Amino acid sequence: MQHRYKNNLGLWGWLGGGRYGADRYAYALHRLSGLGILAYFLMHIFVTGTRVDGPEAWESAMHFFENPLFRLGEFLVFLAFLYHAVNGIRLVLVELGLLVGKPGLPSYPYSHSVIRQRPVLVVAMVITAVLVLFAGADFLFLTK
Amino acid sequence: MSTSKESGKMKTIVFEVLRYDPEKGGTPHLQEFTVPLHKGMTVLDGLHWIKEHEDPTLTWRSSCRMGICGSCGMFINGLPRLACTNQITHLHSDRVVIKPLPNFDIIRDLVPDLESLFDRHRSVKPYLIRRDRIEQNSPTREYFQSSEELVNYIQFAYCIKCGLCLSACPTVATSEDYTGPQALTQGWRYLADTRDEGTEEHSEELYSKHGVYRCHFAGACSQVCPKGVDPAMAIQLAKQAAFLKSMGLCKDKPGAPVTPPIDNWVSEKEIPKPPEPTVARES
Ligand code: HEM
Ligand code: SF4
Ligand code: FES
């Protein structure tokens, strides 16, 4: 009897970037941030839904979320949103085939689309970082 | 077998190789071997040394040892690579850790079961489809194609079906249904070929719910491809074509025509004659 060994990487295979390029990490982070915002969005609907039960229910819910831990949580959701939105614009461009270059004659050393669009990934990350700094300043100094 | 005196002087390198015995089953384990290192030695050379000197039962798949047959794909020091085109010293490590390609079942030791690759490949109908089957099966002349049109797909035609891209792909890791970078690229290779008339046939799998839209551009396939095929580009170009078509911005072109016979063609007079045979023909 011959046994095969199942060797599919599964969940770790998509989450772990390993020794692959930055784009594979961007991929995992895009999905995680998307799911994060989605989770927030669902909770948000539930929480704002308390308004239906009258002003007292709303006030007590708002009071519950004044805790600094939730403020930090909100900030993290905003970071996830910033990353997801900026990187999402890059993905739209790339997946419309706009930044990947043209097919050519295969001659060594090979170049490829992922390297060609890499500068756009860098620009997207710089934009995200700048926005995060602004958001951080706002979070630390401007809000109560 | 090298004597201990020799190996004391010789540079060596440690190979850690995954072993799996299908008769016993169970979990695969890593086994260490110390291999003498010489200049220009590839990972495949190291495996051959182990098989010759240490353990004849060590099993892997290889054939051409020049990066063209696509059988020696392995997971070497954390990346899917061909064992025959990677020199040990270029890995910049004093250990070579070799496992079979992930995302494929292990048959034995370093031998992955590539059947799932070939099933995926077949699903896109990777061959030229023409309406006129009689002309295709017994051609009168060639189909017309310019060298510019050739460049649209030739790099995708360099795929050697090694499966490295499927091992690197995070979507393949979680989904056995995903058509995958190798096959999607071959589907696009025929859509981009001006001679092909099977747009509908190739598109069925390419644009199915397991097709190009499950790619989210993690880019690992193009990073590891040893032939510069760039599957990530082919998949995005396939998405672009579908988008342009859905917006009415581009239409399917008819397949390239059979080149017409050229009238009043005169043979060049100066064509040199082949040299006389140097070996006498058998009568
Ligand atoms: C400016 C706002 C946004 C932009 C530009 C954007 C862009 C994108 C793009 C382009 C994708 C597809 C990625 C791919 O094909 O690889 C995506 C996926 C996704 N987005 Fe967004 N998005 C935005 C806001 C949101 C919001 C508000 C949510 C949550 C409620 C969200 C949740 C998701 C999820 C769950 C995915 C799937 C991730 C995956 O499959 O990898 N996005 N987004
Ligand atoms: S596309 Fe490249 S990595 Fe994938 S099977 Fe073909 S040659 Fe191998
Ligand atoms: S042995 Fe043929 S590709 Fe490595």
Q: Mind listing the pLDDT tens digit for each residue in B58-115?
A: 999 999 999 999 999 999 999 999 999 999 999 999 999 999 999 999 999 999 999 9
Q: How far is B99 from chain A (nearest CA, A)?
A: 11
- Whether the per-residue pLDDT at B5 is higher than 50: the answer is no
Number of domains in chain A: 1
Q: Are residues B131 and B208 in the same domain?
A: yes
Within-domain flag for A29: yes
- Whether the per-residue pLDDT at A87 is higher than 70: the answer is yes
Q: What integer is the mean pLDDT of B36-48? A: 96
Within-domain flag for B14: yes
Within-domain flag for A6: no
Within-domain flag for B171: yes
User: Model confidence at B279, in pLDDT bands (50, 70, 90)?
Assistant: confident
For the CA of B70, the nearest atom of ligand 2: 8
Q: Which of B112, B133, B166 is the last residue of a domain?
A: B112
Q: What integer is the mean pLDDT of A78-100? A: 96
Instruction: Please give the residue that has the higher pLDDT: either B233 or A74.
Output: B233
Contact A108 B176 (CB under 8 A): no
Q: Whose CA is nearest to atom 4 of ligand 2?
A: B165
Contact B103 A110 (CB under 8 A): no
Q: Are residues B35 and B137 in the same domain?
A: no
Q: Are residues B232 and B148 in the same domain?
A: yes
Q: What is the pLDDT of residue B22?
A: 95
Q: What is the pLDDT of residue B61?
A: 97
Q: Whose CA is nearest to atom 10 of ligand 1?
A: A88
Number of domains in chain B: 2
Q: Whose CA is nearest to atom 14 of ligand 1?
A: B216
Decide whether any atom of ligand 2 lies within 6 Å of the B43 Cβ: no
Among all residues of chain B, which has the CA nearest to that of A25? Answer: B218
- Whether the per-residue pLDDT at A16 is higher than 80: the answer is yes
Decide whether any atom of ligand 1 lies within 6 Å of the A44 Cβ: no
Q: Mind listing the pLDDT tens digit for each residue in B14-32?
A: 999 999 999 998 999 999 9
Q: Which of B104, B106, B155 lies nearest to residue A105, judging by beta carbons?
A: B155
Kindly report the average pLDDT of chain B as a whole number. 93
Q: Which of A27, A104, A110 lies nearest to residue B216, judging by beta carbons?
A: A27
Q: Mind listing the pLDDT tens digit for each residue in B100-122?
A: 999 999 999 999 999 999 999 99
**CATH no. for residue B219?**
1.10.1060.10
Within-domain flag for A1: no
Q: Which of B54, B86, B112 is the last residue of a domain?
A: B112
Q: Which of B22, B28, B230 lies nearest to residue A2, judging by beta carbons?
A: B22
Q: Mutate one of A95, A98, A120, A122 to test the B interface: name it (highest B CB count within 10 A).
A: A95
Structural domain span for residue A32? 21-143
**CATH no. for residue A136?**
1.20.1300.10
Within-domain flag for B158: yes
- Whether the per-residue pLDDT at A20 is higher than 70: the answer is yes
Within-domain flag for B263: no
Q: Are residues B236 and B136 in the same domain?
A: yes
Q: Are residues B107 and B139 in the same domain?
A: no
User: Model confidence at B1, in pLDDT bands (50, 70, 90)?
Assistant: very low
Within-domain flag for B39: yes
**∠ at Cα B164 (B162, B168), nearest 5°?**
160
% of residues, chain B, pLDDT over 90: 83
User: Model confidence at B4, in pLDDT bands (50, 70, 90)?
Assistant: very low
Q: Are residues B136 and B98 in the same domain?
A: no
Within-domain flag for B259: no
Within-domain flag for B253: no
Structural domain span for residue B126? 115-246
Q: Which of B112, B127, B160 is the last residue of a domain?
A: B112
Q: How far is B62 from chain A (nearest CA, A)?
A: 20
User: Which residues on chain A place their C-beta less than 8 Å from a C-beta of chain B?
Assistant: 1-15, 18-21, 23-24, 26-28, 30-31, 91, 94-98, 100-101, 103-106, 108, 110-114
Largest CA distance in chain B: 78
Within-domain flag for A7: no
Q: What is the pLDDT of residue B140?
A: 85
CB pairs under 8 A between A and B: 154
Within-domain flag for B155: yes
Q: Are residues B93 and B143 in the same domain?
A: no
Distance, in Å, from the CA atom of A116 to the CA atom of A93, rounded to the nearest integer, reads 13
Among all residues of chain A, which has the CA nearest to that of B109? Answer: A5
Q: What is the pLDDT of residue A143?
A: 61
Q: What is the pLDDT of residue A29?
A: 96
Q: Are residues B101 and B16 in the same domain?
A: yes
User: Model confidence at B281, in pLDDT bands (50, 70, 90)?
Assistant: low
Within-domain flag for A135: yes
Q: Are residues B141 and B235 in the same domain?
A: yes
Q: What is the pLDDT of residue B9?
A: 67
- Predicted ipTM? 0.91
Q: Are residues B87 and B145 in the same domain?
A: no
- Whether the per-residue pLDDT at B271 is higher than 80: the answer is no
- Whether the per-residue pLDDT at A96 is higher than 50: the answer is yes
For ligand 3, the distance from its centroid to the CA atom of residue B40, given in whole angstroms, is 16
Q: Are residues B171 and B226 in the same domain?
A: yes
Within-domain flag for A96: yes
Q: Which residues from chain B sit within 8 angstroms of residue A105, using beta carbons?
A: 151, 154-155
**CATH no. for residue B39?**
3.10.20.30
Q: Are residues B214 and B124 in the same domain?
A: yes
Q: Which residues from chain B sit within 8 angstroms of residue A5, using beta carbons?
A: 20, 22, 25, 27-28, 105-106
For the CA of B69, the nearest atom of ligand 3: 2
Q: Which residues from chain A sit within 8 angstroms of residue B239, using beta carbons?
A: 95-97
Within-domain flag for A2: no
- Whether the per-residue pLDDT at B6 is higher than 70: the answer is no
| Ligand in nearest proximity to the CA of B230 | 2
Contact B158 A21 (CB under 8 A): no
